[in-house]
Every structure is written in structure tokens, then in C-alpha cells.
Amino acid sequence: MNRREVIKMLGLSGAFMATRKLSLASVASKDNPIVLSTWYGQGSVANSKAWETLEQKGAAVDAVEQGVMISENDWGNCCVGLGGNPDRDGKVTLDSCIMNHKSECGSVAFLERIKNPIQVARAVMEKTPHVLMVGTGAQQFALEHGFKLEEDKLSNHAQEAYTNWLKKSEYKPIMNIEKGGVIHQPMVPKKLENGKWNHDTIGMIAMDAQGNLSGACTTSGMGFKMRGRVGDSPIIGAGLYVDNEVGAATATGQGEEVIRVSGSFLVVEFMRQGYSPEMACRKAVERIIKKTPNNINEMQVGFLALNKKGEYGGYALNKGFDFAVKSNRLDNKKVDAKHIK
Ligand code: SD4
């Protein structure tokens, strides 16, 4: 055995031991197709839509696109699509990305008045040599590709939330809110009067019948954010990452913290090292705590992961993050993610 083979063997046995030691709750054997979405309430509905494609042996990339569009089209959703909460200037700006099993990806950020940003992200992936398009350029691209410019108006619930927010903020930046370049606006999940959660970004990851992985993530971002602020959701490696050899991961919660540690990429890399999806998510949350020890009680971050074996898991910083899993065996199982705090 030469040196390289010895090193490879040691590396593999290390990963094997890590898997044995750390493997946590997950499906026992390959259970594909399978689809998972952040936040059970909307995630289960979106999963069911994605399932229509998956059970027909359709591609995971098509399934996730169709799935998250359910949330984008939900005018009652506080945090996804044009019905979502606006920024400080009263404008809804959307962030979205998609990634397939070939590591092709596309995303849009700070996109206004386009109903389905995930479809625009897919068009960026398939029709341009680029990955990310933003703002008016992204909107222009969308219009050139047949998307319609929607009316510039807020949903009733977003208008109400914005009016309430304006009362307190008096339309001034909150003191020190941008201190150190970090916006520490609290993002602890909270049940709203209409029974919905104030967090609803949808991150969806899936494996199709062919064993290929894909993912999508879409959001209106942090409510009442500074104009031009972009979170983790359209950033490949932060809000979403797919490596067809290893697994897929997505994130929700305080985007700044997720970007800082390249969260979804980090989760996939932990899975590559042999950690179970749940433990990989936990380790990414631990990294966030290590890098940002302050304010962790006032914000939420949740990760969701799926590996190539069809095992899945999630982990959150604080209590309250749940997700939905659908496969032939699991009919939109609700999982309350474990949490560190
Ligand atoms: C963001 N990560 O814009 C998103 C927000 C989110 O549930 O996930 N909310 O930072």
C-alpha cells in the first residue's frame, strides 16, 4: 500500500467512525424520492406539490421549483412572494435561488414586482452564463423572458404590518442597527394572529427517483429590512447548497449569520466528512454561535439537510424551527428540529 492509499484509508475510516459515533435520527435506508421543506405549515403544502413531479419519476429540480412556487403564489404568506412583508420603504423585494444535481445554479436578489422569482432564478441558471442577477437588471431580464410586471401594491396583511412598524420606527433607522455592518433585528419565530409564523422563507431540498439531488430557496427576506439588503436565501452556499455526490442543505432565519459561515455549504461539507445530516446541521449552528456569541437569544437560524443515502435531519439555534418530510414512507411528517439554546 503506498502513502496515498494509506492516507485515503485513514481518511475513510475516520469518516466511518464519525458516522457511527454521530449518526442520529434519520431514515434507515434509501427512501427516494424524498422532499423536505423548512417550516412545516407551508412546507407540507409545498412538498405535496413537489411530490406530484417526484412520484412521476420527474427531476428533483422541477419538483423543487414547482413546490416553492406554492409559497410564492400564496398572497397570505408573510415572508415569501409578493404578498410578503416589505422593506423600510414599503417595497417588497424578493430573493431566490435554485441548484441542480450538476452543480448548475441560478439566483436573483432584490427583485421587485415579479411573481415567481424562483422561475427567474432558473432562467438565470439555464439561459445566461451567470449565477446571480439583482435589482432592476434582474427585473429587466425577467421581462425580456416573458415574465409579467405585477402591480406595485402590498397584500392586506403586509400593509397592516408595515403600518404598525412605521408607528414605532417613525421611518428612521433604529439606533446602531447597522453597527459593525450587522443588522441585529430580532428574528425569533413568533406566531402571528392569523396563525402563521413570522418566519416563512421556504428552503426545499429533494432527491428524485434517479437519486439526483436539487434544491430551491425563496423569500421576501427580513421584514422592514434596509432597502437593498439581501439575505442568505439567494446566495449559493449560504441559503442553499447541493453537491450530488454528498447531499443538499438549506437554511432559514437570520441571513447575515448564515452568510457569515457559508452555512449550507458548511453543512454539506460536514456531511462529506461523514456526519449525519442532523449532526452536520448542528455543527453549522455551533459554528454560528462560535462566530457570533452575542444576540443568539434574539434570533433564529435553522438548517435542513439531506444526504445521498436519503437520510435527513435539521437543527436550529432556538426552539421553534420545524420542517416537513415527504417520501413514499413518510406522508409529510412534521419534525420539530432539535435546538441548541
Ligand atoms: C433572510 N433567511 O432574508 C432569510 C429570512 C428567513 O425565515 O429565513 N426567514 O435573512
191 against 261, higher pLDDT: 261
Rounded to 10°, the helix 40-54/60-72 angle is 140
Distances (CA, A) of 309 to 14, 75, 306, 338: 19, 36, 8, 21
Q: What is the Cβ-side half-sphere exposure of residue 136, based on CA atoms within 13 angstroms?
A: 0
Q: Sign (positive/negative) of CA torsion 123, 48, 279, 307?
A: negative
Does the Cβ of 199 fall within 6 Å of ligand 1?
yes
pLDDT score for 168: 75
pLDDT in tens, 273-331: 999 999 999 999 999 999 987 777 778 899 999 999 999 999 999 888 999 999 999 99
pLDDT score for 129: 98
Ligand 1 centroid vs 252 CA: distance in angstroms?
Answer: 5
Site to probe by mutation for ligand 1, drawn from 108, 201, 262 as the one with most ligand atoms within 8 Å of Cβ, is: 201
pLDDT score for 316: 94
Q: How far, in Å, CA of 79 to CA of 285, rounded?
A: 22
Q: Is the pLDDT of residue 82 over 70?
A: yes
Question: Looking at ligand 1, which residue's alpha carbon is closest to its atom 7?
Answer: 199
pLDDT score for 8: 53
Q: How far, in Å, CA of 135 to CA of 20, rounded?
A: 46
Q: How far is C-alpha 66 from the geometric centre of its chain's CA atoms?
A: 15
pLDDT score for 300: 87
Q: Is the pLDDT of residue 77 over 70?
A: yes
Relative to the CA of 200, which ligand 1 atom is closest?
7
Among 80-84, 207-211, 278-282, 316-320, the minimum mean pLDDT is found in 316-320
pLDDT score for 299: 81
Q: Is the pLDDT of residue 17 over 60?
A: no
Relative to the CA of 198, which ligand 1 atom is closest?
7
8 against 167, higher pLDDT: 167
Q: What is the CATH number of domain 33-339?
A: 3.60.20.30
pLDDT score for 178: 41
What average pLDDT score do residues 221-248 get? 96
Does the Cβ of 326 fall within 6 Å of ligand 1?
no
Residue with cell 421556504: 202
Q: Is 191 helix (H, G, I), strand (E, B) or coil?
A: strand
Question: Looking at ligand 1, which residue's alpha carbon is closest to its atom 10?
Answer: 255
pLDDT in tens, 306-319: 999 999 999 999 88
Q: Is the pLDDT of residue 167 over 50?
A: yes
Question: Looking at ligand 1, which residue's alpha carbon is closest to its atom 6?
Answer: 253
43 against 10, higher pLDDT: 43
pLDDT score for 183: 34
**Spans of all domains in the chain:** 33-339
Average pLDDT over the chain reads 86
Cell numbers linked to 129? 452564463
Q: Is the pLDDT of residue 332 over 50?
A: yes
pLDDT score for 341: 78
Confidence band of 27 (pLDDT split at 50, 70, 90): very low
CB 63 within 8 A of CB 54: yes
Ligand 1 centroid vs 276 CA: distance in angstroms?
Answer: 24
228: part of which helix (H) or strand (E)?
Answer: none
To the query of whether residue 201 is one of the catalytic residues in this protein, the response is yes
Ligand 1 centroid vs 300 CA: distance in angstroms?
Answer: 9
Ligand 1 centroid vs 203 CA: distance in angstroms?
Answer: 10
Q: How far is C-alpha 39 from the geometric centre of its chain's CA atoms?
A: 10
Relative to the CA of 221, which ligand 1 atom is closest?
3
pLDDT in tens, 120-164: 999 999 999 999 999 999 999 999 999 999 999 999 989 998 998
Q: Is the pLDDT of residue 233 over 90?
A: yes
Say which of 38, 53, 93, 201 is annotated catalytic.
201
Percent of the chain with pLDDT over 70: 83
80: part of which helix (H) or strand (E)?
Answer: none
Confidence band of 199 (pLDDT split at 50, 70, 90): low
Q: How far, in Å, CA of 323 to CA of 336, rounded?
A: 7
Cis amide leading into 189 (omega within 30): no
Ligand 1 centroid vs 218 CA: distance in angstroms?
Answer: 9
**All residues at 6 or more sequence positions from 228 whose CB lies less than 8 Å from its CB, including other chains:** 110, 135
Runs of H (alpha helix) within the chain: 3-22, 40-54, 60-72, 117-127, 135-144, 156-169, 255-260, 263-272, 277-291
Q: Is the pLDDT of residue 24 over 60?
A: no
